[in-house]
């Protein structure tokens, strides 16, 4: 009896110390949920949330330091997805959701200063010095970084235009189903 | 058809709506006088829009190429009248949204001068040449899907398809344009079917025609008599018999798997009108610029079929056949799967098999009631789905739940909504959900593309900074070296002095 108690105790001690060592040396430093949260964010590193980039915002979200409504370009859809992932309830009525937007250059006012091109996180603005700039719609993420730096207010945000390819049937309005 | 046949052949799926095809189908084909102006849309097919190659003011002949295919899946557009290009701009698309798309406007000179390039014996050239001529003729699937036919030929050839199924089902109520083409141009259909067989290397062609079109069956039998490889097979009239999966199953007994194409079970389906268009494009060298359009519905004075140049405004065709009253609803295609149109200033496109102008009684939509779980929709569904379960999930916004019930297999035939005793707009729910799921998929792709772009920019900035730093370091090194060089001689002399 003493023998069995002793051997089990020894095994427990040995395995416990292995686990203890493993937890110290093989520990994952990053919270695994951070990567998942980061994948849900737009990834344009626009900085409108107040963090340096999307990775930092994801870290703050994982620690619970930031609200799920932090991402303006993501809008309601991103807030909902983040809330579902983190298992938190969120009041979306206060989120001003203008729907997905993209930047647009008013060509009459653009002076070709190149400032917007430099801040665009996805290189969605093309142009050259003293030439009218233009936004590549497919590449614009709607982060509005360019709007803030434009000296002549030639840049503005507009809702993504609906085209034949993007149009979808509305949900049938019905009292029952 | 004997009693036993009736019992064995009757499909268990689908619905049998009142077909409303006659008297319109029996009226001889009328030809629309050349319109003064046509609007040729650049995307009348699935795939990339065609790219215009004409300039405003340029004179064109009927059948002349005015916009070339762009990309792997695309089709060229040809002028449907001879005359002058007067504009390239927006017109309303035949689409429920009423959004605009690009079209080339041609003012007719009224002469209808053709440019055509006939080929006397297409069976003497290589099959690839037949496919190439069909592609150059802008032939697309005329049953409504408007998939470029030559792309389908290439697929059939690659997958070694042995059977061509010619779709003369035309199961949609009110429509009779395929019926008319089989009655009046059976020779063209049979020749086109033989050309398609030659292009894809098939050994037989099964022409499936619904048994509510006895005149068409008789005409096609007569035309196909000299060619034993073209077999005319009457099929029971049952909606949606004209859907490719259902027709393949009825004619060959093969079921197309959920995630596969018809070619993967060894068959290829082409519509009868498409076959006639292949005949014209390959043998006569006439591109697809005209088609038969059924004009039907309660608001039409003299329903029937009209031979119309593509790009003609729908309003002009309606005026030609005469309206009894202002239509309560306009539909492009059939009543089951057609596209509702907002107005009649929309051009006729390649896929326009019919224009329906409904009166108030026909356009009436009954109010939806609650689902009583009777299961009528599951019996009617030709794909064997559970419409009531999918609709219940979509109603509460659970699109993934609906997807788990194989929403993507839904062919949007509308049988479920047709039979529903509570008038629930089932198929409308499915169209909405499919659109939303596609949009979600697009958003995901966009997010991924954004990440790639952001990473590319970050990498570029880093590279530029590194290059700048390196250049600065190099310049500094050069400066130092130059300084050392100017400073060196005294040092060496000093050294020499020291050593000396």
Domain membership flag for residue B145: no
**What mean pLDDT value characterizes chain B?**
92
Give the range among A40-54, B211-225, B271-285, B310-324 with minimum mean pLDDT.
Answer: A40-54
Exposure string over B39-74, b if 16+ CB within 10 A, otherwise e:
bbbbbbbbbbbbebebeeeeebbbbbbbbebbeeeb
| Model pLDDT, residue A36 | 86
Residues 1-40 of A with CB under 8 A from B: none
The reply to whether A89 and A105 lie within a common domain is no
Nearest to A167 among B99, B392, B422 (CB): B99
For residues B160 and B201, give the distance between their C-alpha atoms in angstroms, rounded to a whole number. Answer: 7
The Cα B34–Cα B106 span in angstroms is: 12
Number of domains in chain B: 1
Closest CA relative to residue A49, chosen from A22, A24, A79: A79
The residue from A93, A123, A145 where one domain ends is A93
Question: B101 at the A interface (CB within 8 A)?
Answer: yes
Position B484 in a domain: no
Closest to B377 in 3D by CA, of B319, B417, B322, B323: B417
Task: Please report, for the domain that includes residue A115, its CATH number.
Answer: 3.30.70.20
- Put simply, whether the predicted model's pTM sits higher than 0.90 gets the answer no
A87 plus A129 within the same structural domain: no
Q: How far is B112 from B115, CA to CA, in rounded Å? A: 10
Task: Supply the range of the domain harboring residue A48.
Answer: 32-93
Asked if the interface predicted TM-score (ipTM) of this complex is over 0.90, the answer is no
B268 at interface of A, judged by CB pairs closer than 8 A: no
Together in a domain, A105 and A88: no
For residue B491, pLDDT over 70 is answered with no
What is the pLDDT at residue B500? 39
* Size of chain A, expressed as the number of residues it contains: 177
Nearest Cα to Cα of residue B271 among B349, B347, B174, B353 = B353
Q: Looking at the domain assignment, is residue B81 inside a domain?
A: no
Confidence of residue A110 (pLDDT cuts 50, 70, 90): very high
Q: How many domains does chain A have?
A: 2
For B372, the closest chain A residue by CA position comes to A177
pLDDT above 50 for A167: yes
CATH number at residue A86: 1.10.15.40
Which residue does chain B place closest to A40, by CA atoms? B447
- Is the CB of residue B412 less than 8 Å away from at least one CB of chain A? no
- Say if B126 falls within a structural domain: no
Q: Does A139 contact B453 at a Cβ distance shorter than 8 Å?
A: yes
- A113 and A77 assigned to the same domain: no
Q: What is the pLDDT of residue B2?
A: 43
How many contacts, defined by CB atoms under 8 Å, are there between A and B? 82
Assess if residue B418 is contained within a domain: yes
- β-pairing, B37-41 with A134-135? unpaired
Are residues A105 and A65 part of one domain?
no
Please list every residue in chain B whose beta carbon sits closer than 8 Å to the beta carbon of residue A137: none
Q: Evaluate whether residue A12 is within a structural domain.
A: no
Q: Does A166 touch chain B (CB under 8 A)?
A: yes
| pLDDT tens digits for range B359-392 | 999 999 899 999 999 999 999 999 999 999 999 9
Residue A92 CB: number of other CB atoms within 10 A?
13
- Nearest C-alpha of chain B: how many angstroms from A17? 43
How large is the C-alpha radius of gyration of chain B? 30
B451 and A CB contact within 8 Å:
yes
Paired residues of B157 in beta bridges: none
B474 CB within 8 Å of a chain A CB: no
Measured between CA atoms, the residue of chain B closest to residue A176 is B370
Domain that holds residue B428: 376-434
């Amino acid at each position: 009896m003493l023998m069995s108690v002793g051997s089990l105790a020894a095994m427990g001690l040995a395995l416990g110390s292995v686990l203890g060592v493993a937890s110290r040396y093989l520990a994952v430093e990053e919270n695994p949920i951070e990567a998942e949260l980061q994948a849900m964010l737009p990834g344009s590193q626009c900085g409108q949330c107040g963090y340096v980039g999307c990775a930092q915002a994801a870290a703050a979200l994982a620690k619970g330091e930031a609200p799920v409504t932090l991402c303006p370009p993501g809008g309601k859809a991103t807030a909902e997805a983040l809330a579902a992932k983190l298992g938190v309830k969120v009041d979306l009525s206060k989120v001003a959701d203008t729907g997905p937007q993209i930047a647009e250059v008013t060509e009459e006012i653009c002076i070709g200063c190149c400032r917007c091109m430099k801040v665009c996180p996805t290189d969605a603005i093309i142009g050259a010095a003293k030439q009218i700039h233009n936004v590549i719609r497919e590449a614009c993420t709607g982060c509005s970084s360019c709007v803030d730096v434009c000296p002549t207010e030639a840049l503005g945000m507009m809702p993504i235009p609906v085209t034949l390819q993007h149009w979808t049937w509305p949900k049938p309005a019905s009292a029952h189903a | 058809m004997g009693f036993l046949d009736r019992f064995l052949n009757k499909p268990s799926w689908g619905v049998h709506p009142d077909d409303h095809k006659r008297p319109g189908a029996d009226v001889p084909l009328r030809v629309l006088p050349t319109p003064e102006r046509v609007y040729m849309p650049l995307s009348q097919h699935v795939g990339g829009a065609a790219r215009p190659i004409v300039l405003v003011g340029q004179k064109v002949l009927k059948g002349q190429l005015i916009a070339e295919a762009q990309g792997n899946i695309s089709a060229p557009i040809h002028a449907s009248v001879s005359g002058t290009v007067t504009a390239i701009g927006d017109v309303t698309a035949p689409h429920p949204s009423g959004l605009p798309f690009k079209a080339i406007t041609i003012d007719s000179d009224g002469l209808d001068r053709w440019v055509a390039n006939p080929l006397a014996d297409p069976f003497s050239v290589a099959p690839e040449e037949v496919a190439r001529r069909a592609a150059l003729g802008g032939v697309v699937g005329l049953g409504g899907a408007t998939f470029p036919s030559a792309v389908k030929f290439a697929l059939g050839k690659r997958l070694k398809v042995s059977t061509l199924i010619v779709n003369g089902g035309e199961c949609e109520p009110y429509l009779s344009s395929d019926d008319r083409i089989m009655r009046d141009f059976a020779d063209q259909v049979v020749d086109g079917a033989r050309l398609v067989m030659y292009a894809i290397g098939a050994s037989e062609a099964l022409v499936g025609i619904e048994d509510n079109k006895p005149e068409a069956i008789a005409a096609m039998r007569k035309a196909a008599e000299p060619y034993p490889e073209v077999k005319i097979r009457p099929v029971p009239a049952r909606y949606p018999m004209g859907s490719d999966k259902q027709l393949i199953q009825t004619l060959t007994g093969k079921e197309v798997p959920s995630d596969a194409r018809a070619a993967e079970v060894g068959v290829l389906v082409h519509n009868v009108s498409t076959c006639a268009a292949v005949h014209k494009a390959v043998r006569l060298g006439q591109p697809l610029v005209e088609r038969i359009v059924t004009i039907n519905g309660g608001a039409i004075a003299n329903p029937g079929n009209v031979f119309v140049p593509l790009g003609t405004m729908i309003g002009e065709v309606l005026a030609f056949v005469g309206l009894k009253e202002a239509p309560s609803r306009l539909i492009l295609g059939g009543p089951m799967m057609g596209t509702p149109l907002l107005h009649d200033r929309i051009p006729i496109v390649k896929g326009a098999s019919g224009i329906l102008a409904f009166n108030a009684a026909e356009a009436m939509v009954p109010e939806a009631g609650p689902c009583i779980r009777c299961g009528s929709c599951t019996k009617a569904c030709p794909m064997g789905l559970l419409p009531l379960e999918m609709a219940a999930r979509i109603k509460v916004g659970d699109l993934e739940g609906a997807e788990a019930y194989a929403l993507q297999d839904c062919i949007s035939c509308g049988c479920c909504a047709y039979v529903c005793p509570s008038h629930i707009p089932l198929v409308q729910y499915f169209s909405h959900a499919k659109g939303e799921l596609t949009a979600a998929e697009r958003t995901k792709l966009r997010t991924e593309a954004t990440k790639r772009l952001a990473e590319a920019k970050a990498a570029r900035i880093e590279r530029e900074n590194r290059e700048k730093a390196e250049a600065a370091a190099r310049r500094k090194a050069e400066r130092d070296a130059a300084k050392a060089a100017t400073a060196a001689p005294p040092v060496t002399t000093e050294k020499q002095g020291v050593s000396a």
